[in-house]
Chain A
Amino acid sequence: MTRRRRWTPVLLLAGVLLIQPGCGYNELQGLDEETNAAWSEVLNQYQRRADLIPNLVEVVKGYAAHERETLESVIQARAQVAGLKLTPEAIKDPAAFEKFQTAQQELSSALTRLMVVVEKYPDLKANENFRDLQSQLEGTENRIAVARKRYIDKVAEYNKAVRFFPTNLTAKYLLHLDVKPNFTVADEKAVAKPPEVKF
């Protein structure tokens, strides 16, 4: 009896030390949730861009119907993107993440090509409806950039907590959390390649 009594405080102490904030349990859980939220915002903004495309294609078609190739590539890239629905659970897989990033990148470059082609059609450029859509597209691209940056920062913070001592012990043995994949610098190949200029 006395023996048990003597051990009770020690056990309690050990329990408290294990769950106390210093070991990062709450911090890790919070960061995990925050990265998920940041990822949802990224998806949300990409979705917003995908939703703009049908209208944009319609308007451009009205003025520049024979730019079929460019329009087709936009529609195709959008279909590719629509096929990928990444939940916060799925992004733990680096391969799926990579695929998502590539698909979005292709849509971005298809849209860029479309916007370059559009320059040849002054009537289209003067169309108020097209200008509205163009500004929405620009705004959405900008929102994507912001959402991506926030996700990058949040994942960096989360990955640091997963790797640093002593929170890495909690992450590894208690919560079984692993580092999350992050965006790479917008597709190195595309950045390294100089833009094509044709006359």
Chain B
Amino acid sequence: MRLRERQRTSPGEIIRTSALCLTLALTCLFASPSFGLEVPPLTGRIVDRAGLLPPDVASTLSAELEAHEAKTGNQVALLTLPSLEGEPLEDFSHRVATTWKLGWKGTDNGVLLLVVMRERKVRIEVGYGLEGVLTDARASRIIRNEIIPRFRAGAFPDGITAGLRAIIGTLEGTYTAPARPPAPQAPAASSALLTLALAVLVGTAIGLLLSTRRHSARGLLGSVFSFSIAQSTGLLLGVLAALATFGLILWLVTLPPSRHRRARSGFDFDWGPPVAFGGDAIGSAGDIGFSGGGGDFGGGGASGDW
């Protein structure tokens, strides 16, 4: 019943949908998102685009922030910019923080101190997980009492140093972060591999059990099932699972019908593809230099100007 209904409505739907797609595509083409200011790459804990800090101050601060991360797990970073080029401070600050992904995934323990010279604005952007410790009011006090007075006197390195130290001090007062969570790629890859292996196994079993005697029909049925199961992890894996199952079934069926052997060869084949993929996944999980851990920001923090 449902199937019939589906067939009846689909031609009209297809036309309407393709029209919609075309319109949307055209709209996207003309109204391409104009993100005014580009987020600078995260080259370290101190990204001094405005050139405010002498090298020795920068390296001292960087070491202090690194020590703080080693102690508590919190990722604190500084960005100075010559200008916002018309973008609202809060929007840009949030975009930088979420692009850099300061803090760790799940604990969201990152803080960004942003200083913009031409607009004379400062902002402390606080990650979700630290909002309870570095509250808006505390962040605002750091800006008002530590940073702004020094900036007004023209002592920018002093103001930044005092601000960062106050942030670290506030965070270390009460906060102890849990141990580093593992890198996010590893579990995703292994669950994909598990699905793939499962898909091939289940597909083969179904293909062998349910289909008619003809080999190709068995293979096709089995691969369709594997494809369906593995597709949830991606089209490529689905196709791979389908091909693997098809080959496996044809191979099993052409063997002399000895149950013992069939079971064993099934297991043999099973660990074939995972090894190739495992190598890939491990290779991509490198950790060089400073990078964000996947923390998220909800707009907490405070702003000020001098």
Could you list which residues of chain A lie within 8 angstroms of chain B, going by C-beta atoms? 5-6, 8-9, 12-14, 16-17, 20-22, 26, 41, 131-136, 138-140, 142-147, 163-166, 168-169, 173-174
Contact = CB atoms under 8 A, between A and B. Distances in A.
B280 to A, nearest CB: 22
Given A138-B303, A144-B299, 10 more contacts: A22-B231, A133-B137, A135-B140, A139-B301, A139-B302, A146-B299, A164-B21, A168-B13, A169-B13, A173-B5
B105 to A, nearest CB: 17
A154 B121 CA distance: 31
Contacts of A14: 3
A16 B220 CA distance: 14
The majority secondary structure among interface residues of chain A is helix
Contacts of A12: 206, 210
Contacts of A135: 136-137, 139-141, 302
Given A169-B10, A173-B2, A146 B94 contact: yes
B163 interface: no
Contact of B6 (A6, A133, A136, A169): A169
Nearest to B2: A173
A165 B232 contact: no
B141 A168 contact: no
Interface residues of B, number: 38
Given A21-B232, A139-B299, A147-B298, A132 B210 contact: no
A74 B86 CA distance: 31
Contact of A142 (B3, B21, B90): B90
B24 to A, nearest CB: 9
Interface in B2-55: 2-3, 5-6, 9-10, 13-14, 17, 20-21
Given A131-B140, A143-B299, A9 B13 contact: no
Interface string B210-239: 111000010001001100100110000000
A138 B302 contact: yes
B291 interface: no
Nearest to A150: B298
**What 5 A-B pairs are tightest by C-beta distance, nearest first?**
A135-B140, A139-B136, A146-B299, A165-B17, A132-B137
A173 B231 contact: no
A173 B303 contact: no
A17 B210 contact: no
20 contacts: A6-B212, A9-B212, A13-B221, A13-B224, A14-B3, A20-B231, A131-B140, A132-B137, A132-B140, A132-B141, A135-B141, A136-B136, A142-B90, A143-B299, A144-B299, A146-B298, A147-B299, A164-B21, A168-B13, A169-B6
B217 to A, nearest CB: 8
A139 B221 contact: no
Given A17-B228, A21-B231, A165 B136 contact: no
B210 A145 contact: no
Nearest to A135: B140
Nearest to A137: B136
Contacts of B136: 135-136, 138-140
Contact of B210 (A8, A22, A142): A8
